[in-house]
Amino acid sequence: MIYPQPRFLPGGDRFVLIEFGNEMNLELNFLAQGLASAIAAERTKGVVETAPCFASLLVHYDPDLVSYDDLQRETARLIRSLGPSDDLVLESRLFYLPTMYLDPWTRECVADYCSKIASKESDPELLSRANGLADTAELVRVHSGSEYWVASLGFWPGLPFMMALDPRSRLIAPKYNPPRTWTPQGTIGLGGASTSIYPVNTPGGYQIFARTPVPIWDAEKCFPLFRNSIVLFRPGDRVKFVPIGREEFDAIAARVEERSYVYNMVGYQKFSVRDYKAWIGTLAPSDRF
Amino acid sequence: MIDVIKPGLETSVQDYPGRIGFWAQGFPPSGPMDSWSFRLANLLVGNEVGAAGLECQFVGPSLRFREATVIAVCGADMKPTLDSAPVPLWESIPVAAGQTLALGYAGAGAGARAYIAIAGGIASPPWLGSRATFHKAGIGGIEGHALKAGQAIPVGTGTGTPGRKVRPEARPAFATARRWTIEAVAGPNDDWINEAGHARFLGSDWKLSSRSDRTGFRLEGPQWTFTDKATNKAPENGSEPSNIIDHGYPLGAINLAGQTPIILVNDGPSMGGFINPYTVPSAAFWKLGQAQPAEILRFKSVSVAEAQALRRAIDALCAPNSLV
């Protein structure tokens, strides 16, 4: 549910978690990001930083500058002034990410897991079956059909938790149990209702079925987009996966290697929650691409 | 420059308060676990309290100084020596060019982390505004990780005064009986634990597991019991009672992964899908930093206001008037 009033939950002496509801619902993330933007715009006294997640916003504050009670009062005022989520217009960059679906690297990773840890159905087939899709070709069509909303980043620095904006592309998946011990860098996976990209080789629990040659983490700051941060995404960004074949994957990987790859990022758009809701109201969610 | 002769078990460059402002992108602050000892060490050598120094975990390093300087060692007693002669803790010490500082093993009950401050501070390249090492992602510090033998540590220019001491009453008092009382603030998810569960948490001994590191301190103790909120919830929360829709983790959160509580500390994750019934406030972090594996933690419930007052009290001690 979406709570009638957000809940303020203390986290020690310098954090407060503001919870907007207790379900996976894009609307709750819009509220969290809307409040984060309002706090940043108002430069609310004593706030060090904020971190949105699916249904909540974590606020890190300096108790020498603001008391817990004053911070709660001030953020509650901001939430009221934001009005309904329909009124939110959020900064939102759009990234086109070339992606090889059903690629050999994630297939090899799953095979390695099956031989060393536990036998399981291949991830793309499991995903297709669990979501009533005819075959893995339909999985590719459905998954690549939507823009994805970066709800938050975490687990590993720069790792995005994303939700499909188009209801016709929504997929669900169980997580690995036990988790994988490794995942190739750039792997795209799905767990619960969330899609993610592994910035580097890490353990993982999402079902994996695609890979991008484009780095989303750049510790050496080789690309201009990483000038102010070593991670590509921030909350509120959108991602569109563009299916490519092996030849193009290799060509892009070579350009990345020689640092001449040009990121395809659209920076002029904003995301209107009202327009978005009006649009999804025209769709039949049972449709698939 | 300082040459690393022996790296110690896990010696890393840290600064205070660390890498702040990147929680929304998944970067923890890092920084010293016991920032009380760390700040005092910096004050002793004439640095700003936050200047980059070394955190030594369990077993300290051997370091050769190419230039004369002033240093201070605070925190756990790793029996530091300078060219084999014992040097005192909590005091600024002159070092001549070519001398070697060697720290050993902190014996049982002597604390877990020692801090070495050098006049001028360590001058390694900052990452996102901080020199703090974040091992897990390989950023900050010297080449992103704990020190390795053969590395050279760059040092800034400073002017320290030898012979300065920290007043005994301004130093953190280490637990002598290998038992620590750790303050904990209820929340964010205290309403997921039932009354019996709260009583068990606050009334039991918790053993600090050896499977602990700068990302999390694992605790061994009794079972947790839950309220209806944990067992009767929407499926997207997950199937275990301690599962919740992914949410942000406060630093110090006592994170309940299944039945195992893990205190999320300086290099911990920024978010995840487990509940946090309690949070350890910043004023108790120094005790976590000095607790050795297998030592016993007992938790004491404090309010947000009490936790903030404790923090102010420690901050007031990390000031020049604590020195003589």
Whether residues A219 and B233 touch (CB distance < 8 A) is answered with no
How far is C-alpha B81 from the geometric centre of its chain's CA atoms?
Answer: 23
Instruction: Name the residue type at position B50.
Output: G
Q: Choose the closest CB to A9 out of B22, B187, B282.
A: B187
Please give the angle made by the CA atoms of B41, B322 and B47, to the nearest 5 degrees. 35
Q: Which of B19, B22, B25 has the most A C-beta neighbours within 10 Å, making it the best mutation to test the interface with A?
A: B25
Query: Which residues 6+ apart lie within 8 Å of A93 measured at CB?
Result: A236, A237, A238, A265, A266, A267, A269
- Chain B residue numbers touching A13 (CB-CB < 8 A): 185, 281-283, 304, 307-308, 310-311
Q: Cβ–Cβ of A10/B185 closer than 8 Å?
A: yes
H/E stretch holding B162 reads none
Class of residue A148 by CB neighbours under 10 A (exposed 0-12, middle 13-18, buried 19+): buried
Contact B271 A231 (CB under 8 A): no
Q: Do A15 and B250 touch (CB under 8 A)?
A: yes
Chain A residues whose beta carbon lies within 8 Å of the beta carbon of residue B127: 230
Show pLDDT as tens, one digit a residue, over chain B (324 residues).
999 999 999 999 999 999 999 999 999 999 999 999 999 999 999 999 999 999 999 999 999 999 999 999 999 999 999 999 999 999 999 999 999 999 999 988 889 999 999 999 999 999 989 999 999 888 999 999 999 999 999 999 998 999 999 999 999 998 778 999 999 999 999 999 999 999 999 999 999 999 899 999 999 999 999 999 999 988 778 778 998 988 999 999 999 988 999 999 999 999 988 999 999 999 999 999 999 999 999 999 999 999 999 999 999 999 999 999
* pLDDT value for B107: 87
Residue (of A246, A231, A9, A46) closest to B278 by Cα position: A9
Residue to substitute from B139, B191, B304, interface A, most A β-carbons within 10 A: B304
- The domain over range B179-317 is classified in CATH as 2.40.100.10: yes
Query: Given an 8 Å threshold on Cβ–Cβ distance, is A49 in contact with B283?
Result: no
Bridge-partner residues for A270, per DSSP? A91
- Buried-state track B58-86, b at ≥16 Cβ within 10 A, e below 16: bbbbbbbbeeebbbbbbbbbbbbebeeee
Nearest to B61, CA basis, from B85, B40, B80, B44: B80
How would DSSP label each residue in B39-93? HHHHHHTT--TT--EEEEESB--EEEESS-EEEEEEES----EETTEE--SSBEE
Cα B143 to Cα A284: distance, rounded to the nearest angstrom: 53
Cβ neighbours, 10 Å, residue B273: 21
Chain A / chain B CB contacts < 8 angstroms:
159
> How many angstroms away from the CA of B200 is the closest CA of chain A?
20
Model confidence at A248, pLDDT cuts 50, 70, 90, reads very high
pLDDT in tens, A118-130: 999 999 999 999 9
Q: Where are the domains of chain B?
A: 2-168, 179-317
The dihedrals phi and psi of A12, each to the nearest 5 degrees, come to 75, -150
Query: How close, in Å, is residue A25 to chain B by CA atoms?
Result: 10
Give the three-class secondary structure for B151. coil
pLDDT tens string A33-74: 999 999 999 999 999 999 999 999 999 999 999 999 999 999
Q: Does A229 contact B269 at a Cβ distance shorter than 8 Å? A: no
Q: Do A193 and B250 touch (CB under 8 A)?
A: no
Q: Which two tokens stand for residue A163?
A: 């939700």
Considering CB atoms only, which of B128, B250, B270 is closest to A154?
A: B270
Which residues share a beta bridge with B272? Answer: B247
Residues of B in contact with A200 (CB under 8 A): 137
Q: Whole-angstrom Cα distance, residue A235 to residue A269? A: 15
State how far residue B22 is from chain A, nearest Cα, in angstroms.
8
**What number does CATH give the domain A2-87?**
3.30.1360.40
Q: What residues pair up with A241 in beta bridges, in sequence order?
A: A97
- The two tokens of residue B256 are 């309940």
Residues of chain A positioned with their CB less than 8 A from the CB of B255: none
Rounded Cα–Cα distance for residues A46 and A60 (Å): 9
Closest partner CB to A13 (pick from B26, B247, B281): B281
Q: Do B24 and A52 touch (CB under 8 A)?
A: yes
A176: left (phi over 0), alpha (psi -120 to 50) or beta: beta
Residues in contact with A155: Cβ distance below 8 Å, sequence separation at least 6, in sequence order: A161, B26, B269, B271, B272
Question: C-alpha dihedral over B251, B254, B255, B261, to 10 degrees?
Answer: 140
- Asked if pLDDT for residue A164 goes beyond 80, the answer is yes
Touching A: B residues 183-202, CB under 8 Å: 185-189
Distance from CA of A245 to the nearest CA of B (A): 31
- Which of helix, strand or coil describes residue B231? helix
List C-alpha distances in Å: A210 to A188, A236, A257, A286, B167.
5, 23, 20, 24, 60
Strand order in the sheet with A2-11: A2-11, A15-21, A56-61, A47-52
Instruction: Using CB atoms, pick whichever of B24, B251, B276 lies closest to residue A50.
Output: B24
HSE, side-chain direction, 13 A CA sphere, residue A239? 30
Ranges of each domain in chain A? 2-87, 94-280
| pTM recorded for the entire structure | 0.92
Q: Which amino acid is at A141?
A: R
B 39-98 → A contacts, CB under 8 A: none
- Tell me the CATH number of domain A94-280, given options 3.40.50.720, 2.40.100.10, 3.90.1150.200, 3.90.1150.150: 2.40.100.10
